[in-house]
Chain A
Amino acid sequence: MEFKLPLFPEQASSVAGQVDAFYLFLVLLTTFFSLLIALMIVFFIIKYRKRPDHKAEQIHGSTLLEIVWTAIPLGISMIIFVWGAVLYYHLQNPPKDALEIYGVGKQWMWKFQHPGGQREINTLHVPTGRPVKVTLISQDVIHDFFVPAFRIKTDVLPNRYMHTWFTPTREGNYHLFCSQYCGTNHSGMIGEVVVMKPEDYAEWLASGKAEGSMASMGEKLFQEFGCTTCHRPDAGARGPSLLGLYGRPVRLSDNRVVIADDNYIRESILNPNAKIVSGFQPIMPTFQGVVSEEGLIQITEYIKHLSQQDSEPLSNRSNPAVLRDTEVPTIQQELKGRGNEPAAPSGKKP
């Protein structure tokens, strides 16, 4: 047995230092109050030990003291809460220019896909100095993606995308643990995050046997499954065009407005009638059981790719179901009933 007694994991991400600082503050606070109580107890049991000449003094209490020792812990708690909440908010919201990687967890392994199509199993290569957003889903039970060196963690759920993000700052190999009990080989669902210099990362990407980028794989599937039959940009299309769709608000047939994110796209493929785009009919068949999780991820990448191409404003209303930013109704307008106007006829009836 080698004698290694580490106390802190390595700090390998941009937030690790912040989390550690917060943690240290809490450790000091805990130590202070624990010692305070412990020393007071020891002091009292010695000073006020039972002696023949000494009688206990009956004290009812002191409301002032009660208020003080309620208010001070409350105040300190609020400081802790706010500090933790701010850190949390930062941890939950990835920057917009993050490198997007997809991961699928299943009993008992991790599968990752880079946007360029490179795939890895149980290992994840990432570059330093750039935010990385990992979007995850499970094929079976609930797992958890945990990299102690980065101080990040998220549960990985079946049927729903979750994400986490980090900016690696130090090269090295770091543990990836599954930390939601998932059955027999839960402790074996361990992986490795390999952080490399950006040049080395680019080299690694190039050397990998990618079958083509994720987006191009997605495009292949998009055609194979016949999606192009209905989802076309022309006026006669039976399904809404997907150009410029990703990340934009969409008006539905019941006048709700939702954002076309990963989960929306996944739901639209697996459960198309849950949300119908305004002006279109609920005729899309479901692809549940037909397309795999990796396939879903690739198709989503492809659709994202379609947005990135069309960065000009949609002034010609070629894609009427997607709203311009200025059109996104404010809550007040919705409340005033503007949202009850009938949807403008846009798509064609079949």
Chain B
Amino acid sequence: MSTAATTVKPVMPAKHYLNDNYGIRSWLLTKDHKRIAILYLCTITFFFFLGGMFAALIRLELLTPEGDLFHSDTYNKLFTMHGVNMIFFFLIPSVPAVLGNFILPIMLGAKDLAFPKINLLSWYIFIVGAGFGLAALIGGGVDTGWTFYTPLSTGYVRTPVIVLAVGILIAGFASIFTGLNFIVTTHRMRAPGMTWGRLPLMVWANYAASLIMILGTPVIAITLILVALERGFHIGVFDPKLGGDPVLFQHMFWFYSHPAVYIMILPGMGVISEIVTCFSRKRVFGYTFIAFSSIAIAVFGFVVWAHHMFVAGISTYSALVFSLLSFAVAIPSAVKVFNWTATMYKGSVSLETPMLYALAFIGLFTIGGLTGLFLAALGTDIHIHDTYFVVAHFHYVMVGGMVTAYLGGIHFWWPKMTGKMYPEAPAKLAALITFIGFNLTFFPQFILGYLGMPRRYHAYPPEFQVLNVLSSAGASVLAVGFIMPLVYFLWSLKFGEAAGDNPWDAKGLEWQTTSPPPTHNFHEVPIVTEDPYNYGEEANVVH
């Protein structure tokens, strides 16, 4: 943990953004993007564990074929609230609102984001939205599935759908404001010398995700407004009995919700670019290609939504078009995976915890992405649509991909954010446990899906039991892997070693300031003269 050739033990700087101001008002009325990132961190960690608790209950129920642990209505609420909490209140904000908020301005050499007050407003809006979500939970929970398909959600359930829909749409506005902030900051607030071609890939990734955030999220907002209106006032926009079209809801819902998955994964990919370069001591292979593939994913992501609807009643012609486009969107992701792997070629690779998570990401995301091809292909999709195959696919990309990248990023930037190092040995162990637990949980689900076990079933035919038991066993291991970081990160706040400015000896503007950074990020405005990931210039270093 010492840097360069000195052997002086690093110390925390005297004044930094955490101790600059004390008191609850200084936190709740802060305009500092770093503090807002910490606020988001605490909030979404709560929702992650809440959603995780629902997952645990789901896997408990699925140990036996009969629906004997919960009443079916309760089970339906469990998977709905698991999905809603994880997607809208954890995954969508995770990397952008926590890591992006913290790191993006520093990476750009700026003092803060373009609109600091809007950044704080975004957190408050998120809290209000999440509050509605909790209200819906306390009001009994919603049981429509996170996809809210009509007419089930508008006319056939008696749960607080409107409350939850309003909560999600409000939280969506938090997402819009974050995206807006990132876009304007990236365009207008780069330090002198920081051209577009010198931006770290984390910035490119968050920029692409922000484009999706601002264009896609308003559509889910209006869709949920219409659902709420239909439910509240009994009008007939999606109700077939009054002439409405339930499939129109699906089009409008997926028009946002498909790009949403790219909002979730792109920032994670940005994190991976940062980690792989640092721990290979190499510039990234194919910078331009990775940058442009982020934009390509954002653009293509908007034209593939109906691949969720191949059996829902769209025409054969539409299905062919959307299938073709869905293959197109897979290509840029593949390009990135190859580029990251090539980055390690002839590098100098070390396996600290962030790198372990990054490598896990590359492997698991590859599997998750490739299984997406099964779903994009019309011939197989007919069979595996709405089965556990889909569940396994999206958990591979969301958990094996996104959550892994998020954890890798937290480990990577934890020293920068807190000034403390987490304990390396438990961290590596947790990474290993998570990896094993994850695969054990979700790999059997591919098989279950092809066998025909449908989604959202709390009772199933007995021949599916063995695989379900394997999956639940894996889930208990995975839970351990997720709880461990919570414990040792909290431990490190009090007992961790001071990290120093640059414990990883990484390139990038954020490592040129103190850990934690001062409130204004830099003591003097940096001038950028080098390309990013300029690892070639260093002398040989022994750690």
Contacts and interface: CB of A to CB of B under 8 A. Distances in A.
Contact of A148 (B143, B451, B460): B451
A98 interface: no
B345 A187 contact: no
Contacts of A331: none
Contacts of B387: 146, 179
B344 A178 contact: no
A19 B377 CA distance: 11
Interface stretch (B93-101, B206-214, B322-330): B322-330
A50 B459 CA distance: 51
Interface stretch (B252-260, B264-272, B368-376): B368-376
Given A26-B380, A83-B377, A148 B313 contact: no
A153 B149 CA distance: 18
Interface string A146-160: 101101111101111
Contacts of B240: 157-160
Contacts of B281: 50, 55-56
Interface stretch (A29-37, A233-241, A296-304): A29-37
A220 to B, nearest CB: 26
A177 B388 CA distance: 13
Given A57-B346, A65-B342, A77 B311 contact: no
A148 B536 contact: no
A84 B348 CA distance: 43
B316 A175 contact: no
B124 interface: no
Contacts of B454: 144, 146, 177-179, 187
Interface string B330-353: 110011011101101111111100
A89 B316 contact: yes
Contacts of A5: 466-467
B62 to A, nearest CB: 11
Contacts of A202: none
Contacts of B385: 153, 179
A152 B341 CA distance: 39
Interface string B272-291: 00000000111101111100
Given A19-B379, A146-B452, A187-B67, A180 B386 contact: yes
A70 interface: yes
Given A22-B377, A80-B377, A41 B382 contact: no
Given A85-B378, A187-B460, A6 B383 contact: no
A261 interface: no
Interface in A86-120: 86-89, 91-92, 107
A58 interface: yes
Interface stretch (B197-205, B358-366, B420-428, B473-481): B358-366
Given A59-B345, A80-B327, A52 B450 contact: no
Contacts of B7: none
Contacts of B222: none
Contacts of B462: 1-2, 4
Nearest to B531: A60
B303 to A, nearest CB: 15
Nearest to A66: B289
Secondary structure dominating the interface of A = mixed
A184 B337 CA distance: 42
Contacts of B363: 34, 37-38, 41
B107 to A, nearest CB: 21
Contact of A48 (B288, B349, B379): B349
Contacts of B45: none
A84 B286 contact: no
A45 interface: yes
A122 B519 CA distance: 67
Interface residues of A, number: 89
Interface in B44-85: 67, 72-73, 76
A86 B149 contact: no
Interface stretch (B31-39, B150-158, B170-178, B183-191): B150-158
Interface in B131-160: 143-145, 147, 149, 151-152, 156-157
Nearest to B342: A65
B456 interface: yes
B540 interface: yes
A192 to B, nearest CB: 11
Nearest to B347: A56
Contacts of A54: 348
Contacts of A59: 282-283, 285, 342, 345-346
B433 interface: no
Secondary structure dominating the interface of B = helix
A55 B157 CA distance: 63
B370 A9 contact: no
Interface string A131-174: 00000000011101010110111110111101000000000000
B346 A45 contact: no
Interface string A1-34: 1111111110000000011001100100110011
Interface in B239-254: 240-241, 246-247
B374 A23 contact: yes
A142 B149 contact: yes
A61 B288 contact: yes
A105 to B, nearest CB: 13
Contact of B540 (A52, A57, A92): A52
B152 A181 contact: yes
A73 interface: yes
A188 B458 CA distance: 9
A51 interface: yes
Contacts of A87: 378-380
A77 B391 CA distance: 22
B9 interface: no
Contacts of B73: 184
Interface in B477-527: none
B455 interface: yes
Interface of A: 1-9, 18-19, 22-23, 26, 29-30, 33-34, 37-38, 40-41, 44-45, 48-52, 54-62, 65-66, 69-70, 73-74, 77-78, 80-81, 83-89, 91-92, 107, 140-142, 144, 146, 148-149, 151-155, 157-160, 162, 175, 177-188, 190
25 contacts: A2-B462, A4-B462, A19-B380, A19-B383, A23-B374, A30-B370, A37-B341, A48-B349, A55-B540, A59-B282, A59-B345, A60-B283, A77-B327, A77-B330, A88-B323, A141-B151, A144-B311, A153-B385, A155-B312, A157-B240, A159-B241, A178-B454, A179-B454, A183-B143, A185-B72
What 7 pairs across the A-B complex have the smallest Cβ distances?
Answer: A148-B452, A87-B379, A84-B377, A88-B378, A159-B240, A179-B454, A58-B536
Given A85-B323, A158-B246, A187-B67, 20 more contacts: A4-B463, A8-B451, A9-B452, A34-B366, A55-B348, A57-B282, A66-B339, A73-B335, A77-B330, A78-B327, A80-B373, A81-B377, A88-B319, A154-B311, A155-B312, A157-B247, A179-B454, A180-B149, A186-B76, A187-B456
